[in-house]
Every structure is written in structure tokens, then in C-alpha cells.
Amino acid sequence: MRKVLVIGAGGQIGTELVMRLGDKLGTENVIAADVKSECPLGLKGSQYVELDALDRDKVRSFIINEKITEVYLLAALLSATAEKNPDFAWRLNMEGLFTILDLAKEGYIKKIFWPSSIAVFGPTTPRKDTPQRTTMEPTTVYGISKQAGERWCEYYHQKHGVDVRSIRYPGLISYTSLPGGGTTDYAVDIFYQAKLGNHFTCFLEKDTRLPMMFMEDAIRATIELMEAPIEQIKIRSSYNLSGCDFTPAEIAREIEKHIPTFHISYQPDFRQAIADSWPGSIDDSEAREDWGWKEIYKLPDLVKVMLENVDVHLLT
């Protein structure tokens, strides 16, 4: 009997993950939690509870009382926001993780999903086809917190047998909710401006290549990883995962095929330095070998589906 709690469910990943888990396990077995008192719009129809990932006592008693077996811990500040609020980012990104790892160590939770990111890499990492194991010297608060989190996940697995599983997500592209505070957010914003017929000013340079993934692939990967037999999970820090990679100029050219009047210009801000420190493409051969990962969406399909589905009303 599985009973799942998704913490930080109101964000870009959570809203889609809760829906998919509900379809799979039944909505009575999936609880969405977020810090807001009102259930976020994207989670309507699911069981919702107000839960602050930093409120250790409340999180503990909720999980124990509700007999939760699996936790997806998504609450975090992303790269750009974290640079503006480093103390809070470190607290949120680390303390919530310890609460959940400890509950698993004590036997209350059977399985944990915790997202890492390509932000664990840094300027000294090889940028092209970045391997699973390589130099990792992240230069952002977010990247440092994700790298530390990865080490703790592996530690709790090795020392305490905790079944924690993780993916280093690339930039995620989706249309059901807006991303918040990431360096890869331009690749979502661009679709709303294109659909509105607006000129798009990109905060990254035209040739900045970054790894990206369509949300449907990311959710499928998350569920496949969590459902893989335990003996197939050989990496307990976090798996590299690749969908596609592109530059702002390349995505703009693809959008122009559908909207010939679309126009983009470039005005890099502080996020350029963050993007410059990250890989341009990822080698995910270990995820492919260990649990059979394979992406579906490449840039042309992703652009087509996004343009068909983005709803500009989400912006209001």
C-alpha cells in the first residue's frame, strides 16, 4: 500500500507530478503539500495540506500520523532567487531534506525522491557531454546546496540504508504552471511572449547552450526512477539526465517556423554568469543503462507542443 506526500507541490514540477501520481495510484493515495494556506490553482482536485518544509515538527507528525510511505521533496529556491537570498535558500534547500532523511532512517518512510540539478556542476566541469562523475565546483548558492544534498543522500543510503533516489534535472519546460526563479526560465517565458505577439528580450546571450527537458519526459523519468527495482539503482547521489539542449537563438529559430513575425533580442543580466558556469549538454548513459531512461521530446516537438498549449492567462 503506497501513500505519497509531495512537499512543495505548488511549483512547476509538483503540479504535474501530483496529477500523474494521482492517475497512477488514485487521488486518495496522493497528498499535495505546500506552504500556501489556499490550495494553489494547479492542484485543484487533489488532496491538499498546508505544510512548511521548514516546520520540522509539523512535517514529522503529519508523515507519521498519515502513515506516509513515500515523499517527493520538491520545496526549494532555484538558482536566480537563491543568489538574492542565500541564507534562506541554504536553510530551505537543506533543512527540509534532513527532516525527510531522518524520518526514513527511523523507518517511517520507505522511499524518498529528492531533485538535484545540473547546477551541481561548475565552471571547471567539462561543458560538453558532462559525465556523471567529474569535477564539481559549483559557484552558486543553489548549486552548492544541491551538491551538499547529493552527498547527504548518498551518506544516508550507505550508513542507514535509506532508499533515496534523485535526478539532476536540466531546465524544465512546461505549460501547466510557470517556473519561478531559475536561470533556465527564459525557455518558458519565450513561449508566452511569442504567443502574445510580443518582442522577447532574453536575459541570456544568444549562444548560451543549456541542457533542457520537456516536463512530460521529466515526470516520466521521475516515476520510472521511483518504480525501478532497488537493485537497478546504482547511484544514490543523483543521476545525470538528458532531454535536449539548445541556445536562445536556436529555440527562437524553431519558434519562428511557427510564428514568422517572432522577434528576439538579447540583454544578459546576472543570470548569464550562472548559465556560463553550467554544462551545455549532459551524458546520461548511466541512467539509460541502470533503469532504462530514454527521452522522447527533442527541440522541434517541444516547441510545437508548447506553442499549442501555453495559456497566456496564466500570466495574469
Binding residues for ligand AKB (CB under 6 A) = 78-79, 117-119, 142, 169, 171, 182-184
Nearest CB to ligand AKB, comparing residues 177 and 184 = 184
User: Would you call 142 a catalytic residue per the annotation?
Assistant: yes
Nearest CB to ligand AKB, comparing residues 184 and 242 = 184
Q: Considering only CA atoms, which of 275, 294, 276 is closest in space to residue 284? A: 294
| Least separation in angstroms between CB 28 and ligand AKB | 32
Q: Where are the alpha helices (DSSP H) in 74-137?
A: 79-84, 86-105
Nearest CB to ligand AKB, comparing residues 78 and 310 = 78
Nearest CB to ligand AKB, comparing residues 22 and 182 = 182
| Least separation in angstroms between CB 300 and ligand AKB | 21
Nearest CB to ligand AKB, comparing residues 39 and 74 = 74
Q: Which of 48, 72, 108, 142 is catalytic?
A: 142
Residue nearest to ligand AKB (CB): 182
Give the HSE-up count for residue 187: Cα atoms under 13 Å, Cβ half-sphere. Answer: 31
| Least separation in angstroms between CB 57 and ligand AKB | 29
Active-site residues, by number, are 142
